Amino acid sequence: MDAGNSNYHRCRQAGKTLKYRYEFFKHDLGAAELAEVEDVLKGVILTTGEKTKQFETLFAEYTGRKYAVAVTSCTAALHLSLLAHDIGPGDEVITTPMTFIATALSIMKTGAKPVLVDVEPDTGNIDFDQLDSALTKRTKAIMPVHLYGLMCDMKPMRHLANMYGLKIYEDCAHSLESRRDGMRPGDLGDTASYSFFATKAITCGEGGAVVTDDEATYRKLKLLRLHGLTKTAEDRHREGYQHWDVELFGWKYNMDNIQAALLLPQLKRISSNVEKRQNLAATYDRELDGHPLIRKPVNRPECFHARHLYTVWVPAAIRDRVIEQLIKNGVGMGVNYRAIHLTTLLMEKYGYKRGDFPNAERIGDETISLPLYPNMPEKNAIEVSQILKKIVEELA
Ligand SMILES: *Cc1c(COP(=O)(O)O)cnc(C)c1O
């Protein structure tokens, strides 16, 4: 999960009222979602069935792809993308150190090695100019992350991938609504993977989907999603009983009807919600732009920013004390992300160390994510900005 949101979750789990005056995230699920779930409960099939199929059809349509496969997480979607093209032990997949650890873990689950490439200092997205220096004979694919909703430049990446026969698996956990030069995530990737985790643009608590235009990939993804079974529980009973076979080694990643029911009404709110987040981000910008101690990632003029997160950079020497003071002042926050090559797991397994990716490290040491969700009152963005400025000025 988004590590920075753990306080919020602890409050919820304890059944307490939220302790933050300015919550980091609040979902907007309500009556429409309840009605869809009720519809499932009135039927017989709780697991993967008609609602899942309906969601897949509409989600493929929304993302502009031919096929969508609904799964239980974005991690699963990325894992299956790699498996669908037989990536495994001995292979290398290039990705970014400035992402959630799940991106790298999806590669490691196959037995392949995540090879990290440093990020652009001004956006936090993988630095295309450093990509070819990471290529080896074992490189099979690139897994870019469109960080915070700012899309990577996919045209040169596709060109490079074609030159070396590489696949591209896009991690779109932040970029449901993103555009760049009129293109969308998934337009140039072999697959694009989405997250419906609790704090993502649309959510069913836990969920994900992978989309593709390639029919063979789609067929394999569908098998891999459910044990490699040739028939789902619903299929087996549709017209009398049907026996199933197992054609390949698969996983247990199928999205059920209840999760799909929660997602269906949210598809209609995607564009109004991203607009609300963009307006709130503009308010933050107005309040924080030009402050000598508070910097932030840039937007690119050719991009439609999905604004999944609003992050700022404060001096590394005071970052953790700023966090402490934000919390004391009732401001929920997150850290997206500390550079993942400095996790114990990746340092021990691959020998990564501090100094390997200076741009990712600098961002990881300075970053704080501020509260942002579609129905957040505008005054929260103004007040949080004022609180942040005061804290930073006092600590600097
Ligand atoms: C949330 C997230 C994931 C993982 O999503 P799950 O659905 O929780 O598996 C992967 N990558 C990024 C960049 C994320 O933010």
The string of pLDDT tens digits covering residues 119-131 is 999 999 999 999 9
Ligand 1 atom closest to Cα of 336? 15
Ligand 1 site, residue 72, Cβ cutoff 6 A: no
Mutate to test the pocket of ligand 1, among 103, 175, 202, 307 (most ligand atoms within 8 A of CB): 103
Ligand 1 atom closest to Cα of 145? 13
The CA 178 to ligand 1 mean position distance, Å, reads 16
pLDDT at position 17: 57
Contact 56, 70 (CB under 8 A): yes
**DSSP secondary structure, 2-13, as one string:** -GGGHHHHHHHH
d(CA 51, CA 42): 13
Question: Is the confidence at residue 10, as pLDDT, over 70?
Answer: no
Ligand 1 site, residue 185, Cβ cutoff 6 A: no
**DSSP secondary structure, 39-82, as one string:** HHHHSS--SSSHHHHHHHHHHHHHHT-SEEEEES-HHHHHHHHH
* Amino acid identity, position 226: L
Contact 332, 371 (CB under 8 A): yes
The CA 290 to ligand 1 mean position distance, Å, reads 32
pLDDT at position 8: 44
Contact 96, 360 (CB under 8 A): yes
pTM over 0.85: yes
Over the stretch 336-392, which tens digit does the pLDDT of each residue have?
A: 999 999 999 999 999 999 999 999 999 999 999 999 999 999 999 999 999 999 999
Ligand 1 site, residue 75, Cβ cutoff 6 A: yes
Over the stretch 309-345, which tens digit does the pLDDT of each residue have?
A: 999 999 999 999 999 999 999 999 999 999 999 999 9
Ligand 1 atom closest to Cα of 196? 7
Ligand 1 site, residue 199, Cβ cutoff 6 A: no
Ligand 1 site, residue 174, Cβ cutoff 6 A: yes
Catalytic residues: 200
pLDDT at position 143: 98
Ligand 1 site, residue 255, Cβ cutoff 6 A: no
Ligand 1 atom closest to Cα of 72? 7
Which secondary structure element, helix H or strand E, spans residue 244, and what is its range? Answer: none
* Per-residue CA distances from 36 to 55, 205, 233, 264, 373 (Å): 12, 15, 21, 8, 23
The phi and psi torsions of 110 (rounded to 5 degrees) equal -85, -10
